Amino acid sequence: MEQAPPRSSKTLLWVLLGIGGLCAVCGAGTVALVGLGVIAGATDTMGAGSSSAGQREGAPGGLAFMVPASFAPVSEGRWRFEKLDGNKRHTVDLIRLPAVAGLEDPIAKLTQQWNATIVRDWPNAPTRVLPLRRFVNNGARAYFSSATLTAANADHPSLVSLYLVEAGDRLEPFVVLQEYFDKSVGAMIVAQYSFDQTQAAVEEVFKGIEGSPIGPPLVEEAEVVGAWRSISGGSMQYVNVITGGTTVNSVASNVKYAFSGDHTFTYDFGGADTRFGNTQFASQQDTGTWRLEHDLLLLDGEQFDRKFFIVGAGEGPAGKRVLYVIPEGNWSLSPGAIGQHGKLFEAE
């Protein structure tokens, strides 16, 4: 397999970049992963793609690829975008890798390619990935995963993403690296929040990619059917510096969905909020029907109607089935927004 060129001729470390979009740091087992952006069809609005009327051929030859004018060539198969902000420098590197034969079992091939290219050269990179999905410009599907990693010869973390775009009878791999360079005090803290600054450039990359076939949904119904749970919580302890007294504020929630094959669903929410020793509990239940529409999961309930933007599905790093969605009202191509609002469900 052809390898991506090294970032420096003085090191054996090869920096691979994932063409990313929307990024969200989400907990998945012990691995902090990043969910990148989804664009439905050829629009900049999530969920705006029209419902599929059947599979269509797509781009001639399976793939059409045009590098944005804002990206300068670095070497064969590699391009770079730079954004200067005073003494700070934001970059996006894009690398195209050799094609992977066959469209079948793309999740397994995503993991294999990740281990062959990313794990080999990035210290502490996870060997199992969270399978995420998006559409490229013409509505063809791409399977991807990403992680915030630190190269052996770098001071700051990088957002590393690997994409496999459906293209005829093969999968076309792209890697994108989003980086931040700043030698000032506190730069290490700022670095992990810097990836929003290059989001627009990453999405420009995807506007130049067309795959094949087009028309299939992002997620199949069989991947949604099942019982799902999302548990979250956090706490903070306060100490009175005069009396030494302490108090703890905490919040916890347990959300469960069950999607049946007959397109009915049940919903069960339980939560607790403790503030200064006072705990309040809340619960909510609902039933109704569900359906998939392109890249949206639509719920028509007796108590409420909801729309979820689908980011991922498949088997997660812990070996369980996962469903990763973003509630309506928080859809965004911003890495920070996805990290704050994305919901990762595991199969019960």
- Distances from the Cα of 67 to the Cα of 71, 133, 173, 249, 316, angstroms: 7, 21, 15, 50, 32
- 56 pLDDT exceeds 90? no
For residue 63, what pLDDT band results from cuts at 50, 70 and 90?
A: very high
- Tell me how crowded residue 121 is: count the other CB atoms within 10 A of its CB: 20
Q: Domains along the chain?
A: 25-210 (3.40.1000), 221-347 (2.40.128)
| Amino acid at position 334, single letter | S
| Amino acid at position 289, single letter | T
**CA–CA gap between residue 106 and residue 230 (Å, rounded):** 25
The reported pTM is 0.79
Q: What angle do CA 81, 112, 103 make, to 5 degrees?
A: 85
- 24 pLDDT exceeds 70? no
Mean pLDDT of all residues in the chain?
A: 81
**Residue with more model confidence, 183 or 106:** 106
Q: Say whether 79 sits in a helix, a strand or coil.
A: strand
Work out the average pLDDT over 137-152. Answer: 91
- 216 pLDDT exceeds 80? yes
**Residue with more model confidence, 140 or 34:** 140
For residue 333, what pLDDT band results from cuts at 50, 70 and 90?
A: low
pLDDT digits (tens, 9 = 90+) for 305-323: 999 999 889 999 989 999 9
High-pLDDT (> 90) share of the chain, %? 53
Find the range with the poorest average confidence among 24-28, 60-64, 73-77.
24-28
Q: How many residues are present in the chain?
A: 348
pLDDT digits (tens, 9 = 90+) for 259-315: 999 999 999 999 988 886 788 888 999 999 999 998 899 999 999 999 999 988 999
* DSSP alpha helix (H) spans, the chain: 106-114, 187-191, 199-207, 221-224, 335-341
The DSSP result for 214-272, as a single string, is B-S-SS-HHHH-EEEEEEEEEEEEEE-TTT--EEEEEEEEEEEEEE-TTSEEEEEEEEE
Report pLDDT for 336.
66
Report pLDDT for 152.
85
Structure tokens at 68: 């944005």
Report pLDDT for 26.
34
Report pLDDT for 326.
92
Report pLDDT for 27.
33
Report pLDDT for 334.
65
- In DSSP terms, which residues pair with 167 in a beta bridge? 170, 212
